[in-house]
Each structure stands twice: as structure tokens, then as C-alpha cells.
Chains A and B, each alone.
Chain A
Amino acid sequence: MSTAARQTDPWYPVWAERPSFDLASGKYLKIWQGPQHPGVSGNMALELTVEGDIVRDCRAHVGYLHRGFEKLMERRKYMNCFPIVCRICVPEPDFNEHLFASAVEELAGIEIPERAKWIRTLTLELARIAFLTMGLGGQAGSFGLGTVGQWCIVHRDYVLDLFEELTGHRIYHMYIIPGGLRHDLTPGFAERTEAVLRKIEKLMDEVQKVLFDNAVIMSRTDGLGVIPRPWVDPYGIAGTNARAAGSSRDVRSDSPYLVYDDLDFAPIVGERSDAYGRSLLRKREILMSAGLIRRILSRIPDGPVRVKLPNPLHWKVPAGETFVRAESGRGEMGYFMVSDGTGFPRRVHVRGPSYTHAMALFEELVRGVSIADVAGLMASLQICPPEIER
């Protein structure tokens, strides 16, 4: 293992080696940062090997939230799947609904109406704003700045009120179904959305002052969890983590789905690749999503929102396989669906962006970080454990 190769070749499999530590020497201590701790939106445990105050090694433990979705979906008909599919990612459920619906539509050859596409995009962008706002709050809370956490959760609540008006439930919407949407927008939705977007933009001004211009936060996040640009492909990094590192990878511009090619979407690439840069990029993405929502609301065409589907209890989707992807708040999320011609899905494999962020990338980045900053590093990678073990 030549050191020169380690340093110069980004594809050198440095992740295949794990340094060993002599625990009996008394120099190292194993600490368990259990399933519940600030810094993660979900349950994930870390087994840290620390030397004094600095982490030397980490093993991530997941599985606390495993419900066996992929097995359950094989037992349910396609329409019966969609109530459970949104529970795969708890903070941001709409992407799961959209991906499941578009995979089924692609396999069955269903074309959804234009208005449904626009409203789906609106729903996804609202979900992204809700998630990123909560993520900013979580990032602040992991460093002890509880004020920003409180503000962000309350503003997320305003977006959840919009969702409740639109779909009937705050968190699990079950709104995007194969064939379109369950029902149309309510009257006056555009005005209420505009009011909420203004509140969120005002919040972002305050967050800029309290969080990003805060000397303590600036010094704690400076250089925390730097992701070098060459790591993006070997580690499969996606989303804001990759864009802060300098890559312009965004599914909305690379393989546009729904109406993103109509909206002239261009991803924002960040300059700094540490925790501060990622959070700043997320704040800019919230503002960009607000602008996208405004453009969508001004351009939604009229028409139906749903196509007539065959009887869902007797619906058989033609055999085949497909892969669909979308850009969720954390990165590239994909659904691989195989159908064998019966009314039950043969195999649905959900690929969440946190899969590689939390297990492969995090274990590399956490080396050399002090214990107090581990939670901050986790929050800055926006790890969502439910989608790791589904």
C-alpha cells in the first residue's frame, strides 16, 4: 500500500483498509453514541474509538428502523403499496411517492396529465423546503444553538399546514399516486403558499445573521468534514454534499423529470466543502426552491389531474424492469422496480442517498474529529436513517 498512491489516486481503495487499535493499551476508549443523540433525524448508532477527545475510528450501526418494506411491498398490490411507500423516508415522504408512481407508470405505459406533472413538482419542491429547513435547524441544534432549531421547526410547520390543506395529513401525504394525483389544488392555495414562502425567506435572513454570521458556529464548522472533489464518484456522494464539493451533479438538471426542463433549472454549486459550506448551500437551495415554486404557481396549466386507471384490485402491470431517480433534499434517490405481470410487484429496491453518506463516507470523514463535533458532522451530511435500512 504505497502512500503516494493513497494520496494521488482518488480511486485507491483506502476504504478497504481499517486500522486496528490496541484497546488493551489504555490509550483508546470505545464510546457508543447510541441510537438517540442530537445530530441525526432518525435512529443510527456510532461505535467510536477515541483517543482522548479525538475520534480515531467509527463503525456505523443501522437497522433500528428496519420494517422490511421491500418484502411488504411484494405482498401488496400496487395500489396497496402506495400508503406504505411514503413511510420509507420520514421527514420527506413525497419523493418516495413520486418515484413509486413514476416507476409504475413507466412499466404500465401510463401518461399523466400536464397539470398533474406541474402540481407534483410543486409538491416535491415544498417537501424539499420543509426538509431543508428542518435540516438547518438540526445542524444548528447539533452545535447547541437551539434558537435556530425552534425557528426552523415552526416554519416547517407552516409548510406542513399547506400540506394538510392540500392532502389531508401533515406528514404522510399519500397524494401522488400512479395515474396522477388524488385530487386538485384547493382554491386560494397559491396565495397561502406565497405567504408561507415570504415567512421562510424572512426566516432565512434571520438565520443568516444568527447562524451563519455567528463566530462560534463559524469556528466550529470551519474545516469540519471536508469532502474533496475527487471523492464524489468513489464514494457515490450526491446532493448538496457533492455540490458543495464542487460537482454540478443534480438529477433535476442531468436527467430532468417532471417539468424541470421547462423551468430552466440550473444547480447551485458551492465554494466551500466543509460543514459551513454545505449549510450555506442548503440555505441557498431553500431560496432557490422558493423561486421555483413561484414560477410553477404562475405557470400551472389547467386540466385534469388524474387519468382513469383500471380497477386497482385487478390491475396487472406488464412484466419488465425500470429504474427511476429523483433529486431529494439529500441527493439522488432511486427506485428499481421489477414486475412479473401479476398484480403484485416482484421486487422494489429503494436506493436512498444516505446509504453511502452514512456508512461509507461518514466513517472516513469522522476520523480526527473531536467527540463534540461528531453530531455536527452527522447533521451536516443530512443523513436520514430510515432510508438506509428501509
Chain B
Amino acid sequence: MTDDTQKMPKHRSPVPEEELLSGDSFLDPAEEGLFCQDRPEPVSPSRVKIVRDFCNWAQANSVFILAFGTGCGAIEMRPLFTARYDISRYGMFPRPTPRMSGLFIIGGYASVKTIKRIVRSYEQMQAPKFVMGLGSCTVNGGMYWDSYNTIKRLDHYIPVDVYVAGCMPRPESLIAGFARLKELIRAGKAEGANRYAKDFEWYKRNQRRIITDWNMPEHNW
């Protein structure tokens, strides 16, 4: 499990600027007022240390998972919710909608169709929110490294807090990943949502690069 996304250079486009597709808005003028056009704002923690620690402790102990099995990883998420591996003792529970959840587990590869839904679901989650990349496909494309339909680096499209390597990782590896995530949250270092808000244009440019069928708002509230 690594969180080397901290070392990633910011505001550097992975492909030359002139090759990026233009970002036209999909909205027709009649719908302009229906969607909020604000971009996300970073949420800064409290200045008071004891409040900050208390909030981090509370968040770390009740991380709800968005029940969206995006790929192969869904098959190893299901045993976690049973009595054998039992993650509800860690305060984790699967929730059906993005509004109710705090952790998005991207299980495995993400095809172009799925990454659009992932982006949409991720933006609808409310801060504080975290992302765990499950499997090697989120790290570097995995065994689909030469496929024309799967993304190769998840952290170009949404910010990732913890990676769990494997193909598929066992439920115990997942639990170890959760433990690492909790450590990060307690230490105040799980700042994926704030990174997304700060580098919003960079993420959007990467997303628009591959999602050519962009029929959703710029920022999905």
C-alpha cells in the first residue's frame, strides 16, 4: 500500500496542451440556471488542535463505504461485509448512495464508461471523502496495460489516498488498507478531497481528455 500521490507534480499536464480536447459546456441555455456552476472548495480543518484530533478520531472510526463495485474488486468486497471478515467492527458499512458514504473503493480496472460514473459519484460525495484504489489496475493499469479501454493511472482522474496492490487483494489486505487509511485520517493526512478542490482544473483536463461523451455538468454536485 503506498500513498505516493503526495509526490506527484501538480499542475502538469501529462499530454501536450494542444492535444487536449476543448471543454465545451453541454448545457443548453434553458438549463443554465438548473446546475450550480461553482467549483469545489477545500475544507480546512479547525485551528484548535483538540477539536481537530477529535474530528479526525470520529471520522476514522466511522468510514462508510460507497457500495459501488466498479470492477473485479467487487467480488472481494462482498466477503468483507460478512461475519467472516466483518468490517463493521471497524465502523465500516456499505451505503447505497454517494451522499451517505465517505470512502469510495475503486475495485480494479476502470473502463472509460465506468470512470465517467466514478467521477460523477465521487463528486457527489461530501467532504470528508477518501478513495482507495484496489488492485494493480488502479496503480499502473495492471494486466490491461495495453488495453484501449481501461485507464492506467487512477490518480490522474480522482485523488487516491491509499492503494492496495494485488490482483485481487485478499480481504485481509483490504483490511490492512483500511487500517492504513485510518492512520492517515487520524494524522490528518487523508487530504484527497482538498487536493481535488485545489487541482480541480488539472483533474478536469485529464478527465475530459478521455471522457469524450461529456453530457454532465462540470462539477457534479
Is chain B in direct contact with chain A in the complex (CB below 8 A)? yes
Alpha-carbon distance A68/B113, docked complex (angstroms): 13
CB-based nearest A residue for B72: A90
- CB of B69 within 8 A of CB of A43, answer yes
- CB of A66 within 8 A of CB of B84, answer no
Shortest B63–chain A CB gap in Å is 19
State whether the Cβ of A157 lies closer than 8 Å to any Cβ in chain B.
yes
Of A63, A64, A83, A157, the residue contacting B143 (CB under 8 A) is A83
- Residues of B contacting A195 with CB < 8 Å? none
- Residues of A contacting B82 with CB < 8 Å? 150, 153-154, 157
CB-based nearest B residue for A152: B82
Of B68, B79, B111, B170, the residue contacting A67 (CB under 8 A) is B111
* Number of chain B interface residues as a range: 20 to 34
- CB of A67 within 8 A of CB of B109, answer yes
State whether the Cβ of A353 lies closer than 8 Å to any Cβ in chain B.
no
- CB of B76 within 8 A of CB of A171, answer yes
Alpha-carbon distance A63/B110, docked complex (angstroms): 11
State whether the Cβ of A256 lies closer than 8 Å to any Cβ in chain B.
no
Alpha-carbon distance A43/B146, docked complex (angstroms): 22
- CB of A63 within 8 A of CB of B111, answer yes
- CB of B143 within 8 A of CB of A65, answer no
State whether the Cβ of B90 lies closer than 8 Å to any Cβ in chain A.
no
- Residues of A contacting B68 with CB < 8 Å? 35-36
* A31-76 contacts to B (CB < 8 Å): 34-36, 41-43, 63-68, 71-72, 75
How would residues 131 to 159 of chain B score, 1 for a CB under 8 Å from any chain A CB and 0 otherwise? 00000000000011011111000000000
- CB of B76 within 8 A of CB of A64, answer no
State whether the Cβ of A91 lies closer than 8 Å to any Cβ in chain B.
yes
- Residues of B contacting A34 with CB < 8 Å? 117
Of B109, B114, B150, the residue contacting A35 (CB under 8 A) is B114
- CB of A171 within 8 A of CB of B111, answer no
State whether the Cβ of A297 lies closer than 8 Å to any Cβ in chain B.
no
Alpha-carbon distance A41/B114, docked complex (angstroms): 15
Of B79, B113, B148, the residue contacting A63 (CB under 8 A) is B113
* B44-78 contacts to A (CB < 8 Å): 67-72, 74-76, 78
- Residues of B contacting A91 with CB < 8 Å? 75
Alpha-carbon distance A38/B131, docked complex (angstroms): 22
Residues of A at under 8 Å CB distance from B?
A: 34-36, 41-43, 63-68, 71-72, 75, 83-84, 87, 90-91, 150, 153-154, 156-157, 170-172
Residues of B at under 8 Å CB distance from A?
A: 67-72, 74-76, 78-79, 81-84, 109, 111, 113-114, 117, 143-144, 146-150, 167-168, 170
User: Can you list 13 A-B pairs with a CB-CB distance of less than 8 A?
Assistant: A36-B67, A63-B113, A64-B114, A67-B150, A68-B148, A68-B150, A72-B144, A150-B83, A153-B78, A154-B82, A154-B83, A157-B82, A170-B168
